[in-house]
Amino acid sequence: MDVLSATGLARRFGERTAVDDVSFGIAAGETYGLLGPNGAGKTTTISMVCGLLAPDSGTVVINGDTMATDRCPAKTHLGLVPQEIALYPDLSGRENMEFFGRLQGLSGARLGERIDSVLELVGLADRGGERTDDYSGGMKRRANIGVALLHEPELLILDEPTVGVDPQSRNAILDGIADLQSSGMAVLYTTHYMEEAERLCDRIGVMDEGRLVAEGSTAELVSLVGEHPVLRLEGDGDLRVVQSRLAVLDGVIDCTSAEGRLDVVAQESAVVLGEVLQIAEHNGVRITAVSVDEPDLEDVFLHLTGKALRD
C-alpha cells in the first residue's frame, strides 16, 4: 500500500486554477519528485497534501488516514519542510526543535533524545544552542530539514529545499536526503531543477499549469522524447522561423525552440546539422553554439509543454 495517495486534487484561487485533477501515489522508501517551473502548482499541491489548504475536490490519504485541514491523525505521519526557512530567528536551533517537536506530540526524555539525534544527523550537534539567525544559509537549510524529522515521519515533504543555496550546501542537502531514502521513508520532493529530480527521484511527476503532464522514472520520461540524441543550438535572431522550417523536413522527429535555444531530435543529427545551418543563414539567424547530447528532463519538458523549464 502506498504511504501517500493523492487522488483528483484540484484547487482554484478565484478565477485561476492552480491545481487541476492531480493524482499520484508514493510507496515506502520511494522518492517522488514534482518537477515544474515556478507557478506550476507544486506548492499548492503540497499544501493540500499537508492539510494546509482544503482542496476543491479530491482526497489525500496518508498511511490509511484521510487528510483534513484541522487537527487530524494523518498529520502525525508527515514532516513538512517549507520553501521558506521556517525557524524562529530569535530562538536557538534546539529551542526551535523543542517547540515543533512538542507540537508533534513529543515530550520529556524522548523529545531530548530525538533533538540530539536530529542535530547530529544535520551536522549541527555543536551549534544547537545558538540562535538560528546566527546560522549560515546552509546551516539554516539543514536545520529547516531537521525540524521535519523530529517525529520520524513516514512521509517527508520538501518544497524546493535548495532554492538560494550555494552549490556546496546544495550537494550536502541532496546527499542527506539520499541517505534518508535508505531508511525506508517516503519522500515527496518538489523542484524546478531537473538535475535534482534526476539525481534524487525514483519517479517524477512533470507539472505544468496545474496539471500533471507526465509521470515515470527519468528513463521512462526521456524515452518519451525518443532514443535519438538531441542536437542543441543557440543563436541570435528569430529561431521560431528556423524551427517551423525544420519541423517539416524528412528525418526530423521533434523540433522545439525557446529563449534563444533550438533543440532538434532527428534520425541522423549529422545530416540535419548541415540543413539547419543553411536554413539559419537564409533567415538571418546567427548560430553561436552547437552540441549533441543525450536527451534529458529538460527536453522532456520542452517536448511536453513547448516551454523551457528554467526561469
Partner 1 sequence: MASSTLTLAGNGIRRGFRSRSLLLMGIVGPLILGSVLALAFGSGGPTISIGLVNLDDSELSSGIADGLADALEGSQLELTRIIADDPGDLSDVERMVSDGEIGAVLVIPEGYGASVTATPETLRVIGAGDNAIASSIVSSIARSIAAGTDLQRAVVAGFVAAGVDPSPVLDDGPVEPVISAEQVTFEGRFDAPLYFGPLAIFLFLGLGVTARTLLRDEHDGMLARIRSAPVSTRDVVAGSAITVIAMGALASTAVILVSTIVFGASWGEPLEVLVVIAAFVVSIAGLLGLIVGIAATEAQAESWTNVIAFTFAVIGGSFFGGALLPGILGTIGTMTPNGASMRALIEVGPGGQSLGDVWYLLAWLFGMGIVGIIVGARLFARRLR
Ligand X SMILES: Nc1ncnc2c1ncn2[C@@H]1O[C@H](COP(=O)(O)OP(=O)(O)O)[C@@H](O)[C@H]1O
Residues that bind Mg ion (CB under 5 A): 42-43
Q: Which helix (H) or strand (E) holds 168?
A: helix 167-181
Measured in whole angstroms, the distance separating CA 254 from the mean position of its chain's CA atoms is 26
For partner 1, the binding residue among 33, 82, 210, 295 (CB under 8 A) is 82
CA distance 69 to 103: 15
41 binds ligand X (CB under 6 A): yes
CA distance 49 to 32: 13
For partner 1, the binding residue among 8, 64, 73, 164 (CB under 8 A) is 73
Residues 82/74/16/221 CA torsion (nearest 10 deg): 80
Minimal CA–CA distance to 191: which of 84, 83, 54, 302?
Answer: 83
59 binds partner 1 (CB under 8 A): no
CA distance 13 to 139: 35
Beta strands in 14-138 (DSSP E): 16-26, 31-35, 57-62, 65-66, 78-81
- Judged by beta carbon, residue 76 or residue 244, the one nearer partner 1 is 76
Cell 524515452 appears where?
Answer: 223
State the DSSP string of 32-48. Answer: EEEE--TTSSHHHHHHH
Specify the stretch interacting with partner 1 by CB under 8 A; choose among 71-79, 226-234, 268-276, 293-301: 71-79
212 binds ligand X (CB under 6 A): no
For ligand X, the binding residue among 10, 35, 40, 165 (CB under 6 A) is 40
54 binds ligand X (CB under 6 A): no
38 binds ligand X (CB under 6 A): yes
For partner 1, the binding residue among 12, 17, 23, 52 (CB under 8 A) is 52
- Judged by beta carbon, residue 46 or residue 262, the one nearer ligand X is 46
The contact set with partner 1 (CB under 8 A) reads: 47, 50-54, 69-73, 75-76, 78-80, 82-86, 88, 90-91, 95, 99-100, 102-105, 147-148, 157
The contact set with ligand X (CB under 6 A) reads: 13, 16, 18, 36, 38-44
